Each structure stands twice: as C-alpha cells, then as structure tokens.
Structure 1
Amino acid sequence: MIKLSFHDLVHVTQGDTVADTLAKTADLAAHAEALGFTRYWIAEHHGLAGVASSATAVLIGHVAAATRTIRVGAGGIMLPNHAPLVVAEQFGTLDALYPGRIDLGLGRAPGGDGHVIRALRRTLQSGPNAFPSDVAELRNYFADDGKTGVVATPGAGAKPQIWILGSSLNGAKLAAALGLPYAFASHFAPDSLDQALKTYRREFRPSAQLAEPYVAAGLNVYAADSDEEAELIASSQQQFSVELLAGKPGELRPPVAGYRDRVGSQGVTTIDHVLRCSVAGGPAKIAAGFADFAERTKVDEIMVSSAIYDHRARRRSLEITAQVASQSIVESTGEADGGDRF
C-alpha cells in the first residue's frame, strides 16, 4: 500500500511569532504520527520572509523530540549550502539521538538567492559533477571508509536514510545511478514529474541501501468537511505562491473567499501552473484526487503538503487525508497492504 508522508515548509502565519510556529510544527508532527503517517519532512529555505525552516537540522531535532515513532528528516538539505562534513556531523548526531528515525533528503538547489549564498559563505561550484561529488563525499563520511582522510564525529557509521530530491531529470538520474530513493517536488514544480519518474525507474541500479526503485512525489492537499471550506482554506497557499513568484514572499495570510476571481489572469496562471498537483475538497473529492494521483504516478509514497492558515483546520485536513487516502489508493491500484518495502 502507498505510504503517506508530510512535507512542512514551516510557514509563519500572519499574527504568529516564530516561537508560535515551531510549537505548532511539533504539534502537527505528533498529530501526523498518531494518524499513521510514515515520515515528516522539513524543508530548507533561507532569506524567505514568512518561512522558518532555515535551521533544518535543529528543527528535525525539535520534531523528533516531540514524537516517538514517525520518521523525521530533511526534505531536504540543500547540499550546495553546506560542507558535507558539517552535514555528516549534524545528521550523525541526530541519528545517535533518534536511531532508525532520521531521513536525509539531499537537493542541489541553493535554497536562496545570490545574497543568501554569499551570506552562507559558500561559493557554488560550476559543472554537472559538483552535486554528485558532494553527495559522494557525504556518504563516505557516513561509511567511514577512509576516502576523505577525516573522521566525522559523530557521523562515522551513522545510518540516516539518504534520499535524492529533485524537480528535474538530473536528480532522477543521480538517484537511479546511486540506487537511492527519489522524491520529486511536484507540489511546487510539477513540469517534469512524469518524465523524471520514468527516467528514475528505467535507469535504477540496485544498491546496498535499496534493491528496487522507491519514489515519493508531492501533492498539495487541502481537505475539509465540505468542498466549499476546502476551496477557501486553499487560498492561503495560493496567495503565498502568487506573492512568491512576484518576488514578494511573506507570512501565510488568512484565506480569502473567491481569491482566484480577484487575483487577475497572471495570478490564476501562476496558481494553475505551480499548484497543478493539488486537490482541495471534502472527503469524496480528496479520495478521488488521491486515487488519480496514485494511478498516474504509481509512487510508493505520497508526500502531502498543505499550507493552511488555521492550525485546527490544518490538523483536520490531515485527519481527513489519513481517513480517505488508504481506501482510495487501494481501490485505485488494486493493492493490499503487503508490509514495508523500504
């Protein structure tokens, strides 16, 4: 059966402090755990107004401490921003604190603009091999194979579950070549979804970590007790996406009734393009949306994302998602629960 995970950008909602936001993040993760979600991903972004996920490893520790069994990880660590040794030490520490529960998704995007890159004291390497070489170096620290000449302490011998993240064919090819699980960011960059999944599955090479392809893909989900309420709460994410693409990101705003009718043709184009992999509605509509997405992608895991202004509504959205997703996915794929494959 397809698994469910949750991807959290850690939006600061209008009227909240960062402290409020982090408390709600921990509460939502515990709620997701109780509802049977497999993992809780936390993104990395820098210099983005209204988003509090810049210190990703710290947040992972915060969420892992607030939960007991759910896997917690980075969706993802943007490796160009970090020395691989530092990542190995951070996630080696997390793996020691929460053994068997830590995921390390790796991405090649900087997670910020040129000003952010300079502020991070990093210089982006050029060429197609920069990211793959950093991934290899990081894995060598965990393996403690002597290839780096440095022992990561903590880190050597740690076993966080490593993923490759992406929104293009590059990540799909690298994940396939290394025999690693792959997560596609279709919740905000859906253009290459089908081609990337096809490439990953076609080119996959078994590894010590993974015997066969394993893929997750993002789906924006706004579930409520009625279609009308769901369409309303989805407008907060729509506002954020329109403002982000216009270069004016900010805190997550309250929902606006009829937002699509007010935002103009360019805003509607942005919503329909960026948020194309989305479903908003009551239980029946959510079930149909999950079934359609599962049938289209044949993924092993659906990575739910939902930027919802009201925390109670967000918790309710997860409840409805968990209630309807399992049945709709099984009916669509004809699968029964055969236990964990990964």
Structure 2
Amino acid sequence: MKLGILEQMPTPKGKTAEDTVAETVALAQHAEQLGYERFWFAEHHATKGMASSAPEIMMAAVASRTTQLHVGSGGILLPQYSPYRVAAQLLQLQALFPGRIEAGVGRSPGGAERVRSALADGKENQLSEYPDKLEALVRYVHGEQSNGVRATPRTEAAPAIYSLGLGENSAEIAARLGVGYVYGHFIEPSRGEATHEVYRQQFTPGNLSAPHALTAVFVICGESDAHAEELATSQDVWLLRTEKGLDSRVPSMEEAKAAKKTERDQRKIEENRKRMIIGGPDTVRKQLLYFSERYHNDEWLILTNIHDVEEKRRSFERIISLF
C-alpha cells in the first residue's frame, strides 16, 4: 500500500490563510518523516476557506523544505490555461527538484462562470479542448515541439503527468495519451471499478511507460470508530456548506454539532459518507484494503478536512502506521 496526501488546504474557523499555509508546510514535512510517498495540492478559487489557489507555488515551497517527498498538483485547471505556460512552470520545478515533481491536471472550470472567465482572461469556455491541451502539455514536457515551439528549461527527464477524472471517459483520455490517472472517489464513489478497469485495459505508453493510477478519498482515522465519528462532524458540515456555496472554512466540532440541519441536509450528509472512510484503525485498514481489491489499485491520495490540526496530524499518523 502506497499512501500520499492531497491537500485542499481548507482554513479552520479561527485561523487565517497564513496559519493554514504554515501548518500545511509543517504537515508535509511530518508526512515525509512518517513515510508518505507524495504530497499534492488542489486548486480552488474564489472561496472563503480554501487556501490552495496556486498549487505550483505550494509545490515549490514544500519541495524546498523536504528531501525525498514527491510533490504534485491535484490538479491544475488546464482548460483555463496555456499548456505552454503550465509546461514551463512544471519544467522549472523539475529542474529545481529532479524526479520529485508530479503534475496532476483536470478539466474543471474552477467554479462559477465568472470565476472560470477570470482565470481564462475572458476567453470562452474551453473545457472541450481539454484532451488537445493535455496532449500538447505532454509534448511540451518531453521537449517536443507544439505549434512550432519547445518549452524550457529542457530537463533530462520529464515530470510525470496525471489526468484527474471521475469516470470512464476521463480514464480513456488518460490511457490513450499514456499519462497517469487519478480517480476522485472523494467526489464520485460509484464508478471506481469500471474507471480503473478502462484505464488499465486501454493504456498505451506515452508520458509513462506503464499505467499508474491513484485513488483519492476522504479518510479520518480516530483512536476508535466513535472517536472518528466525532472528528468527522466538522468535515460533514464543512462539505455540506461548501457544496451549497456557503462558508468553506472548517467549523469546529462544537459549531458543527450545534448546526441546524434539515432532513434533506441529513440525507446529504449520509450520502456524502460514501465518499469517505471513517473509523478507528481496524475499520480504516479494512476499508482501504476492500477498495484496493475492488479497484485493483493500492495507491491512495488521502484528504482529511477536520477542524483540529493536531487531530488531523494524528489521523495521518495512525493511517500510515497501518501499512
């Protein structure tokens, strides 16, 4: 079992963005000491609580403060950007930290249309161009020409490219272009088996010589199942509010417990639990092994979005100790 961390960097209520950034860097250093394989950063914009809006910068900050940890993005919003510019940033990182850069890219618009438009400098929606932009990105990072131009610096090896997705169509794109694939179980938990199967069966060598899939999932590992359930209260309410477009800062357990929830809210919380693994060490181990067997994949990116930073750290400590 190979374990990594995917950080959305949600800010706990009562903390600042500066606090969250400092605590995230410290967590990455601790994760390396614990034996985690990789540490990736999401890209979110125009939210009150998400502090990771520029994964490339966070990658550089963490890579400069660690020695072996693979750092990555999960993921850069490629449809909104120039593949050449993204490739140049990745190659610069690769030159600084050879062999440690992993670039996850996705086709998300990045939020509401006004957010997408601001990211793309007013250009029309380009989500349909994602496969072409991904192909161009792969060519650029390998030193090949695209539109008569080569990206620089020209590193000895290319950074690994991963495409993020939620189903069979995205898996087909990643397989056809020979890049890695990240399945977002933490967003869409119902299509994992078919998606992983499509990626494995249809993969053709390209950026990578062999298929390499990761699965991203919310995990909270407490001292016991009851303790984990208590910790999960803040994540439950955070996710509920975030999906409604409300305050995306993480509430304390006390605030989360006191929050008024309609019957519809409660049903949504229960539905969202399918996107998570929550329990004590034995429960978490069994669930990770269960999904690893179902997906025929034992590499994971773990998200833990709870209010208490120390409990979050201890959850990661318990998880890595299981394997």
* TM-score for both structures, normalised by structure 1: 0.88
1:271-286 to 2 correspondences below 5 Å: 271-286=269-284
**Cα deviations by residue, 1:119-139 (Å, 9 ceiling, x for unpaired):** 1215345574x1111011112
Where 2:35 maps in the other structure, the secondary structure is coil
Relative distance call for 1:24 and 1:251 in structure 2 (3 A) is same
1:85 has 2:88 as partner? no
CA distance in 1, matches of 2:154, 2:235: 37
| Residue correspondences, number | 322
What is the alpha-carbon distance in structure 2 between the residues aligned to residue 44 and residue 66 of structure 1? 21
Correspondence 1:220-299 to 2 at 5 A: 220-256=218-254, 259=257, 263-299=261-297
CA distance 1:227–1:59, shift in 2 (3 Å): same
> What is the distance in 2 between the residues matched to 1:163 and 1:198?
17
Judge conservation of contact 1:10–1:51 (CA < 8 Å) in 2. yes
142 and 257 in structure 1: CA distance in 2 versus 1, 3 angstrom threshold: closer
Distance 1:191 1:296 in 2: 12
Whether the 8 Å contact between 1:188 and 1:275 is mirrored in structure 2 is: no
1:47 maps to: 46
Match in the other structure for 2:123: 123
Q: Is the 8 A contact 2:225 2:283 kept in 1?
A: yes
- Aligned residue for 2:312? 314
One-letter amino acid of the counterpart of residue 231, structure 2: I
| Cα shift at 1:97 | 1.1
Residue 300 of structure 2 corresponds to 302
Report the Cα distance in structure 2 between the residues aligned to 1:124 and 1:208, rounded to whole angstroms. Answer: 29
> 1:46/1:282 Cα in 2 relative to 1: closer, same or farther (>3 Å)?
same
Q: 1:214 aligns with which of 212, 215, 234?
A: 212
Structure 1 residue 150 corresponds to structure 2 residue 166: no
Work out the CA distance in 2 between the residues paired with 1:227 and 1:214. 32
> In the aligned structure 1, how far is the partner of 2:92 from the partner of 2:126?
30
Q: What letter is aligned with 2:170?
A: G
How large is the RMSD of aligned CA atoms in angstroms? Answer: 2.1
Mark the CA change 1:284 to 1:147 in structure 2 (over 3 Å): closer, same or farther. Answer: closer
**Which letter does structure 2 place at the counterpart of 1:244?**
T
Q: 1:220 to 1:270 in 2, by over 3 A?
A: same
Give how far 1:261 is off: 9.7
> Quick check: 1:219–1:302 contact (8 Å CA) kept in 2?
yes
Residue equivalent to 2:13: 14
The answer on whether the counterparts of 1:144 and 1:157 sit within 8 Å (CA) in structure 2 is no
Structure 1 pair 155–244 and aligned structure 2 pair: CA distance change class (3 A): farther
Alignment partners' CA distance in 2, 1:298 and 1:277: 18
Q: 1:124 and 1:268 mapped to 2: Cα distance?
A: 38
Code of the residue aligned with 1:292 in structure 2: it is Y
Identify unmatched segments of 5+ residues in structure 2. none
CA distance in 2, matches of 1:200, 1:214: 9
Instruction: Give the aligned residue type for 1:53.
Output: S
**Corresponding letter in the other structure for 1:286:** V
Instruction: Name the structure 1 match of 2:194.
Output: 195
Q: Is the 8 A contact 2:10 2:248 kept in 1?
A: no
Q: Once the two structures are superposed, what CA deviation does each residue of 1:97-141 show, in whole Å capped at 9, x if it has no partner?
A: 11110100110112221111121215345574x111101111222
What secondary structure does 2:253 align onto?
Answer: coil
1: CA distance, partners of 2:137 / 2:122: 17
Match of 1:334 in 2: none
